[in-house]
């Protein structure tokens, strides 16, 4: 049998390699049994690479189903190989063109002596036929008492939407889509209990897509537990998935209950895995000064191309991003979650690109408005219910009324304005504002959105004047605001309103969603707001 990594000195482990309680791998006809020598013993099926048993200090943790990449690779066109070097063992899964789940996928399980951690990495030459790439640990529920509540659907009374969003006895809502972290915050997350913890270490997200604010599924709990590392999916995907790249390393850690310290996974870069770019062949970018920032908001510099994505927080006007694959990147600066600067840069291996100074040049907040509702920050978080969108369904009783009274400039705050608008829920909103006689001029009304569903886009009336119907924006094909995310593609609609549309005194702007599509309630055409304002004509960027 060929070794998994092709590295000299690696040997196939034969039956009887290790005695119980010692580090090693035992080879049997149907499976490999891996013993870390420190409390974790797990088995890998030789037919398809599934993990069919996980024992922690003698306690079996496997649920009804096996743990696996995708939803399991199946046995046709799947090869499982085993290699060892010193105090490390590697089991490699490979698929060929006859595999019915995914062609040309390579997945690694890596174990080191004395560590209760299954290190993993996945090279995906092509996308799985189900349209998403994920690792799933499927575990018994009984040993675990600390479980993320927004995704714990045990005891639900039935589906609210699409058999994946559920209503609980107290009428609140839960789903695997709720309570998930943004990519920039992914570090370690899992479930715990008395003397037992199972945690995913997410590793770098360079091969995933969607940027720093993207959310995807991390947990689902019912009669059993599912702990996920979603590497890509079709859930509000804002950019193409990356293929022909290595995802990871990432890891599944077992503990005595508390979250583990972040493990050093740099050793994986030295294992000659398929698609691995060693750390000593990577570069960095150092932005020394960013001018034009608003101190009320966090800023981030992000980089992306067809092979990788990276980001770094801006601190005291500068940012440093390390460990980047060499290549040409689009560089953007985010104010909150809104792009306010774009550029192109080139990263070289073993080098640091130094950018002495950048001037922010795309911030719509720098325009002086007649009135403004909310902030140009790329999010609806300051609006009514905005901070709850990632935690629950819009129909949840913990949400405030979406049909709150109309908005009066100068009297109401942004928190009185709805974060989202749907044709069949709160489909007509009015904004009232005063103009003096010398303000009866042409103006531009801007409505910024962060995502849209079913082709929804805002149409406006100003008093008796009606704007032309705008076209739909380019958005991910997904439910969006009902599955825990407001993050799509930020788009600003501009309406040029003539002077004769306005009157001295109280004016009314009416906004409602339009679309050629139809649906009910919170699946009807709609969008999430970023900001709304009105400027004198000719002054908008």
Sign of the alpha-carbon dihedral angle for 388, 390, 391, 393: positive
Virtual CA dihedral for 369, 371, 373, 376, nearest 10 degrees?
A: 0
For residue 508, the cross-strand partners are: 432
Is the predicted pLDDT of residue 462 greater than 50, yes or no? Answer: yes
Q: Give the residue carrying structure tokens 């972290």.
A: 181
Two tokens, residue 501 = 């549309």
Q: In this structure, are residues 25 and 13 in contact, taking their beta carbons and an 8 Å threshold?
A: yes
Report helix, strand or coil for 414. helix
Third-level CATH fold of 24-144+184-270? Beta-galactosidase; Chain A, domain 5 (2.70.98)
- Residue pLDDT, tens place only, 471-500: 999 999 888 899 999 999 999 999 999 999
Q: What percent of the chain has pLDDT over 90?
A: 92
Q: What's the confidence (pLDDT) of residue 16?
A: 35
Dist CA 485 CA 392 (whole Å): 10
- Compute the distance between CA of residue 123 and CA of residue 94 in angstroms, rounded to an integer: 9
Would the pTM of this model clear 0.85, i.e. be above it?
Answer: yes
Q: Is the pLDDT of residue 237 over 50?
A: yes
Closest CA to 488 of 241, 311, 236, 309: 236
Taking 80 as the threshold, does the pLDDT of residue 9 lie above it?
A: no
Q: Which residues pair with 82 in a beta bridge?
A: 91
For 315, 378, 431, the CA distances from 443, given in Å and listed in that order, are 37, 23, 15
pLDDT of 359-389, one tens digit each? 999 999 999 999 999 999 999 999 999 999 9
Question: Residue 357 CB: number of other CB atoms within 10 A?
Answer: 10
| CATH code that applies to domain 279-359 | 2.60.40.1120
- Every domain of the chain and the residues it spans: 24-144+184-270, 279-359, 364-536
Report how far residue 191's alpha carbon sits from residue 119's, in angstroms, rounded to the nearest whole number. 18
- Say yes or no to pLDDT of 3 above 80: no
Q: Which range (12-21, 42-51, 457-466) has the least confidence?
A: 12-21
Contact (CB, 8 A) for 451 and 478: no
383 φ/ψ sector (left φ>0, alpha ψ -120 to 50, else beta): beta
Q: What are phi and psi of 519, to 5 degrees?
A: -165, 175
Q: Find the largest Cα–Cα distance for the chain.
A: 92
Q: How far apart are CA 463 and CA 509, in angstroms?
A: 6
18: pLDDT strictly greater than 80: no
What pLDDT score was predicted for residue 539? 86
How far apart (Å, rounded) are the C-alpha atoms in residues 38 and 356? 50
Q: Which residues contact 141 (CB under 8 A, 6 or more apart)?
A: 63, 147, 154, 221, 222, 223, 224, 225
Write down the pLDDT at residue 240: 92
| Residue 382 DSSP label | T
Q: Which residue has the higher pLDDT, 155 or 1?
A: 155
CA 60 to chain centre: 31
Decide: residue 319, CB within 10 A, 0-12 exposed, 13-18 middle, 19+ buried: buried
| Residue 252, C-beta contacts closer than 8 angstroms, at least 6 positions apart | 117, 118, 120, 135, 137, 198, 199, 200, 201, 227
Q: For residue 479, what pLDDT is reported? A: 87
DSSP-derived secondary structure letter, 129: T
What pLDDT was estimated at residue 540?
76
Query: Mind listing the pLDDT tens digit for each residue in 205-235?
Result: 999 999 999 999 999 999 999 999 999 998 9
Q: What angle do CA 2, 6, 7 make, to 5 degrees?
A: 130
Backbone angles phi, psi at 151, to 5 degrees: -105, 10
pLDDT bucket at 405, cuts 50 / 70 / 90? confident
Reported confidence tier of residue 538, pLDDT bands at 50, 70, 90: confident
Judged against a pLDDT cut of 60, whether residue 10 lies above it is answered with no
What is the average pLDDT across 86-102?
96
Closest to 175 measured CA to CA, from 453, 393, 385: 393
**pLDDT confidence of residue 239:** 92
Is the CATH number 2.40.30.10 carried by domain 364-536?
A: no
CB within 8 Å of 473: residues ≥ 6 apart: 449, 452, 457, 489, 491
pLDDT for 477 equals: 85
Average pLDDT of the chain? 94
Q: Where are the beta strands (DSSP E) in 36-147?
A: 40-45, 51-56, 59-60, 68-69, 78-85, 88-95, 105-112, 117-124, 133-140
Q: Could you tell me the pLDDT band of residue 404, with boundaries at 50, 70 and 90?
A: confident
């Amino acid at each position: 049998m060929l070794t998994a990594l092709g590295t000299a000195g690696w040997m196939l482990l034969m039956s009887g390699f290790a005695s119980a309680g010692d580090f090693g791998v035992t080879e049997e006809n149907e499976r490999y049994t891996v013993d870390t020598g420190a409390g974790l013993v797990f088995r890998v099926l030789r037919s398809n690479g599934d993990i069919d048993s996980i024992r922690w200090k003698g306690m079996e943790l496997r649920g009804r189903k096996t743990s696996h990449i995708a939803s399991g690779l199946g046995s046709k066109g799947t090869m499982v190989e085993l290699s060892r070097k010193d105090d490390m063992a590697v089991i490699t899964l490979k698929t060929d063109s006859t595999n019915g789940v995914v062609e040309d996928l390579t997945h690694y399980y890596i174990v080191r002596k004395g560590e209760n951690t299954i290190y993993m990495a996945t090279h995906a030459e092509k996308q799985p036929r189900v349209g998403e790439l994920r690792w799933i640990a499927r575990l018994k529920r009984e040993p675990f008492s600390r479980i993320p509540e927004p995704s714990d659907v045990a005891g639900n009374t039935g589906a609210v939407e699409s058999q994946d969003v559920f209503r609980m006895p107290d009428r609140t809502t839960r789903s695997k889509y709720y309570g998930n972290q943004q990519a920039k915050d992914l570090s370690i997350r899992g479930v715990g209990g008395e003397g037992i913890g199972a945690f995913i270490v997410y590793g770098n997200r360079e091969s995933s897509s969607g940027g720093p604010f993207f959310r995807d599924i991390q947990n689902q709990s019912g009669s059993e537990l599912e702990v996920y590392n979603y590497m890509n999916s079709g859930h509000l995907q804002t950019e193409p998935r990356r293929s022909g790249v290595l995802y990871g390393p990432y890891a599944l850690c077992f503990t005595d209950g508390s979250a583990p310290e972040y493990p050093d996974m740099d050793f994986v870069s030295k294992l000659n895995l398929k698609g691995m770019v060693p750390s000593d062949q990577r570069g960095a970018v150092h932005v020394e000064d960013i001018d034009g920032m608003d101190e009320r908001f966090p800023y981030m510099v992000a980089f992306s191309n067809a092979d990788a994505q990276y980001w770094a927080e801006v601190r005291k006007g500068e940012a440093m991003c390390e460990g980047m694959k060499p290549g040409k990147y689009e560089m953007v600066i985010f104010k909150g979650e809104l792009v306010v600067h774009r550029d192109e840069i080139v990263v070289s291996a073993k080098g640091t690109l130094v950018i002495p100074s950048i001037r922010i040049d795309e911030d719509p907040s720098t325009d002086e408005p007649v009135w403004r509702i909310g902030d140009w920050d790329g999010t609806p978080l300051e609006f009514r219910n905005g901070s709850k969108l990632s935690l629950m369904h819009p129909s949840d009783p913990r949400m405030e009324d979406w049909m709150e009274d109309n908005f009066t400039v100068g009297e109401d705050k942004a928190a009185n304005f709805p974060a989202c608008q749907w044709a069949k829920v709160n489909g007509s909103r009015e904004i009232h504002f005063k103009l003096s006689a010398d303000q009866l001029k042409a103006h531009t009304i801007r409505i910024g959105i962060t995502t849209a569903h079913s082709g929804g886009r805002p149409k406006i009336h100003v008093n008796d004047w009606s704007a032309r119907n705008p076209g739909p924006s380019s958005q991910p094909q997904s439910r969006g605001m009902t599955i825990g995310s407001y993050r799509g593609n930020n788009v600003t609609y501009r309406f040029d309103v003539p002077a004769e549309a306005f009157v001295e005194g109280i004016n009314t702007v009416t906004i409602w969603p339009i679309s050629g599509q139809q649906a009910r309630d919170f699946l009807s055409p709609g969008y999430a707001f970023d900001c709304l304002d009105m400027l004198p004509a000719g002054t908008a960027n």
